[in-house]
Structure 1
């Protein structure tokens, strides 16, 4: 039985949080990071994830992942990583549960369509949109808009892919992308509540980001096989998967296909999680950060995979891109999804009164980029079925 050990020196301390934009008295029953997690779970945006596509619009049946089931799986893996690394599990889970709140309907297809619509107006980024959701668009509390999350959770949401400013913290093995643009909203919010955009995020947030990668690799293999977009023999072309399948077949000869699929997904996730724990502990021992801020200033991700598993991850992602995301059956569905977003955006932009009253009242008074952002907020918050309902309402068919 695993025993919970004291937190490491580099862990975030809920008692020493950098606080909230709107200060509140402490809770007598929950830590600050537990409150963040609970606020995310009880938000409207979190509930909507149940009806948003993960990678593809469900093809047959109800057993494919949605944004919500993906998010729950990420949260579970993030907690496992955080516990092994002796950092705050509640912060890791809060970041994990909030990381996809800014995603559009229709998965990657919808995001690509909204990005194209917003290109003349400053662009669209789901991490920045998640920040908008938790700091502006959730309107539940009497004193403020948003969820008033702690600095540490907001930092984790914004820096999901690493630092957003500067190159002084980039190393040769972890360079910052040249084409990363700072979202206007992140810049505006950072001017009010600085999030140290030039540093890496906390170890907890890095664990959540790594959990995201591990979760979607595991469940995309599972969903792709169950949807019969590719076969077990097809995916065995990748060395790591072939090795896992060999072990399963040696241990369980004649095992029926559904159980093989589940065993494969389970063992893939376990393999990546265990490797991430071992590699991250090695990095932390090498860097030896004496505080959470030391970890942020390390100049590299302290949570990650070993070189062999990075290669395995690359091979699996390449396979999934070619055989799942580019599958003709998927592309046809994605095209219809892109068409829906591409029709809704200009219609609402030109005639904002077509939106519900509370949205229309705001957008009618705006022009140019400000109106475009308001329309994007409305569309990004839609579920798949609501978006399709809007298309039917406005265009028929």
Structure 2
């Protein structure tokens, strides 16, 4: 049986099918047994930007311990939960997984502090937004194939970067927005992203003693999970109790998301893919009860975790590193690695040796921003030491 026959037998009528994809910018021959979205997924896993997620901050900058999340472990949690729900709703699991795998590729080092730093530095030079940088990364900056620049991903996976973007007025967004609303697979990965980080940020905050149980018990959604675990188990130690509550909260949100999405599909009479595109409201959502509880939780995280002095101090350090690196590279462009310097419109002729069809010429500020945004936390610190500390190479 061919893969497209298997899709037709299994997928819901409103799910995205590989054979219905708008294809790739650079045409490629179909693979004999892998769908276009399977190939997307595998290209993401093997790309440089994906590997670098291992060294990029989620919330806690620097090495607090070996257990707190990084961008990579967060991404893998989003993948696992998204794929489970996609299977239950009979959506395209391969597309959902590819979107989840790629959704954080554009994040710079040092978490949201790093994005704030680059957005401020690039305010007069075209701006910076991590989703659009993710699209730029997979379209141009990844270099794995001799035939074309970037990863040559499917139109639908590239669309997901734009649909996830908060500022959709930029020119690169417009072709994707003309298709209508986001696919269900895109909506699912986006919604699960918030489910995962809300829950695991509590886990990490408790596990690293940023907050304690007395504080989190003021949050209704935590109290609900705690009551269920307390009714099921007795005499759990502090760590096992925390883990059990986190599992319960994830399971509850997953079940709620599935149930509410099925209700909304019925309410809006979604029968085919075009109905998804035309729907004026998101279809993949939590119930009003859970959505309200999540808003309270996110307020707690913002006030008590993300603004915790330890987190703020680490964030300020990361922001300062990027700011000083940016200014130094502007002052002395020759400090940039050759493969980045050759993309600068003002670069000397001697460095422009890259294949013409893969060379994009940019302003110096954009080239520097691309270089910094691609760094891991560790590499940014190392580059800072090389430039500003006398005892390093």
Match of 2:4 in 1: none
Matched-pair contact (CA < 8 Å) for 1:9–1:289: no
User: Is 1:264 matched up with 2:245?
Assistant: yes
The two structures, once aligned, show a CA RMSD in angstroms of: 1.9
Cα separation, 2, equivalents of 1:229 and 1:183: 38
Match of 2:386 in 1: 393
Match of 2:255 in 1: 274
Find the partner of 1:202 among 174, 183, 186.
Answer: 183
User: Is 1:301 matched up with 2:294?
Assistant: no
Q: 1:172-211 to 2 correspondence within 5 Å?
A: 180=167, 182-184=169-171, 186-187=172-173, 190=174, 194-197=175-178, 199-211=180-192
Matched-pair contact (CA < 8 Å) for 2:78–2:196: yes
- The 1:106/1:387 distance shift into structure 2, 3 A limit, reads same
Offset at residue 237 of structure 1 (A): 0.6
Offset at residue 358 of structure 1 (A): 1.3
Find the partner of 2:147 among 120, 143, 149.
Answer: 143
User: How high is the TM-score relative to the length of structure 2?
Assistant: 0.90
- The 1:91/1:140 distance shift into structure 2, 3 A limit, reads same
Which segment drifts farther, 355-364 or 215-224?
A: 355-364
Offset at residue 182 of structure 1 (A): 2.3
Match of 1:351 in 2: 332
Match of 1:82 in 2: 86
Structure 1 residues without counterparts, runs of 5 or longer:
165-179
Find the partner of 1:51 among 55, 61, 64.
Answer: 55
Q: 1:230-241 to 2 correspondence within 5 Å?
A: 230-241=211-222
Aligned residues: 371
User: Is 1:330 matched up with 2:311?
Assistant: yes
3-state SS in 2 of match to 1:363: coil
User: Is 1:223 matched up with 2:204?
Assistant: yes
Structure 2 residues without counterparts, runs of 5 or longer:
1-6, 349-360
Matched-pair contact (CA < 8 Å) for 1:122–1:183: no
Offset at residue 59 of structure 1 (A): 4.6
Offset at residue 197 of structure 1 (A): 4.6
Q: Which runs of 4+ in 1 moved over 4 A?
A: 366-369
Q: 1:54-69 to 2 correspondence within 5 Å?
A: 54-69=58-73
Cα separation, 2, equivalents of 1:338 and 1:240: 33
User: How high is the TM-score relative to the length of structure 1?
Assistant: 0.90
Offset at residue 361 of structure 1 (A): 2.4
Matched-pair contact (CA < 8 Å) for 2:341–2:347: no
Q: 1:19-38 to 2 correspondence within 5 Å?
A: 19-38=23-42
Find the partner of 2:132 among 128, 135, 139.
Answer: 128
Spell out, residue by residue over 1:119-164, the C-alpha distance to the aligned partner (whole angstroms, 9 max, x if none). 1112100000010011011011111111111111111121025xx7
Q: 1:6-25 to 2 correspondence within 5 Å?
A: 6-25=10-29
